[in-house]
């Protein structure tokens, strides 16, 4: 799957092209994809292919076609404050996009089999936060937390998620395993029998399933005999936000809005004013504004203050 939209010169053009063919339909999802540069997650020598609608794989690194991620994000129908599990989280690109939809009070977990890819994803997340989140910023973002391990070693009775994406083909014998990780009224999207399917959990014992797209994914790697001797993987615990962090967030938002209002009153060129308001780096002097604006806030994931220095 891929190649359904024209290539772009940069991330904005790729998003424009996805909109034209109706893969991006929701303003919040569009804004989330614009806020995360797909090219940032490619190795430097492969940057020229970053804005093509095609999958990319180099060693253990893998990114699916842009149209796949767009359709997944739209059909997951993510709401702020929900919990998300990315199985086969890879470079962390999709998890970072989803982090912009979950908001500061969501849960954003990824599990990845290859340790080198987990470290790559963590480094790219750190770079993303440094690039887009300066000390003055206020970001409504849910930091992804990447866990190393085989997804089949997750304990399905330990916790559930509102939204789940599986980034590799699910074998028939594992279909029920992934359904058990889902909260009631939650959505699971995964490749199954050469189709991208969406499963909704209706209650404890009933699910409904619909087909989305024809796809070709590499299969998930099953747990080995050695893995089965290890204890279950415990996904990170979710802790409530501290009163201090909630107060700090409210104060920063209030200060940020006042600063933005003062900047808007200045007699400055529109491009400079836009840059000051959103404090975003631009490519080739192209600045896009998305309806609804963007409040930026430092993420304090699960009550823990996480500041990138």
The reply to whether the predicted model has a pTM over 0.95 is no
Is residue 280 scored above 60 in pLDDT? no
Catalytic residue among 6, 28, 35, 64: 64
pLDDT tens per residue, range 152-191: 999 888 899 999 999 999 999 999 999 999 999 999 999 9
What does the mean pLDDT of the chain come to? 84
- Is residue 64 part of the annotated active site? The answer reads yes
More confident residue, 282 or 147: 147
pLDDT of residue 303: 39
- The pLDDT, as a whole number, for residue 245 is 78
122-145: pLDDT as tens digits: 999 999 988 765 444 346 889 999
Model confidence at 72, pLDDT cuts 50, 70, 90, reads very high
pLDDT over 50 (residue 28): yes
3-state DSSP of the chain:
CCCCCCCCCCHHHHHHHHHHCCCCCCHHHHHHHHCCCHHHHCCHHHHHHCCCCCCEEECCEEECCHHHHHHHHHHHCCCCCCEEEEECCCCCHHHHHHHHHHCCCCEEEEEECCHHHHHHHHHHHHHHHHHHCCCCCCECCCCCEEEECCHHHECCCCCCEEEEEECCECCHHHHHHHHCCEEEEEEEEEEECCEEEEEEECCCCCEEEEEEEECCCCECCCCCHHHHCCCCECCCCCCCCCHHHHHHHHHHHHHHHHHHHHHHHCCCCHHHHHHHHHCCCCECCECCCCCCCCCECCCCHHHCCCCCC
Domains and CATH numbers, the chain: 66-303 (3.40.50.150)
């Amino acid at each position: 799957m891929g190649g359904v939209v024209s290539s772009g010169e940069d991330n904005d053009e790729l998003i424009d092209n996805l909109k034209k063919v109706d893969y991006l339909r929701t303003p919040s999802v569009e804004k989330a994809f614009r806020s995360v540069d797909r090219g940032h997650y490619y190795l430097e020598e492969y940057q020229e292919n970053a804005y093509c609608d095609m999958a990319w794989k180099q060693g253990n690194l893998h990114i699916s076609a842009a149209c796949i991620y767009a359709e997944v994000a739209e059909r997951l129908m993510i709401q702020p404050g929900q919990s998300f599990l990315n199985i086969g989280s890879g470079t962390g690109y999709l998890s970072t996009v989803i982090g912009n939809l979950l908001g500061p009070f969501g849960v954003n977990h990824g599990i990845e089999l290859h340790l080198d890819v987990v470290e790559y994803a963590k480094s790219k997340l750190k770079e993303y936060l440094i690039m887009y989140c300066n000390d003055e910023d206020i970001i409504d973002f849910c930091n992804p937390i990447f866990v190393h391990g085989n997804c089949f070693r997750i304990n399905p009775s330990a916790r559930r998620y509102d939204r789940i994406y599986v980034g590799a083909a699910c074998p028939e014998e594992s279909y029920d395993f992934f359904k058990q990780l889902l909260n009631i009224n939650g959505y699971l999207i995964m490749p199954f029998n050469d189709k991208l399917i969406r499963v909704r959990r209706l209650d404890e014992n009933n699910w409904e399933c619909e087909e989305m797209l024809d796809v070709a994914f590499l299969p998930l790697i099953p747990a080995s005999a050695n893995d089965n001797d290890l204890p279950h993987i415990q996904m990170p615990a979710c802790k409530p936000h501290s009163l201090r962090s909630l107060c700090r967030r409210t104060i920063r938002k209030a200060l940020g809005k006042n600063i933005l209002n003062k900047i808007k009153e200045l007699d400055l060129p529109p491009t400079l004013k836009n840059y000051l308001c959103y404090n975003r780096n631009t490519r080739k002097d192209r600045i896009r504004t998305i309806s609804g604006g963007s409040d930026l806030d430092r993420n304090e994931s699960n009550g823990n203050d996480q500041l990138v220095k």
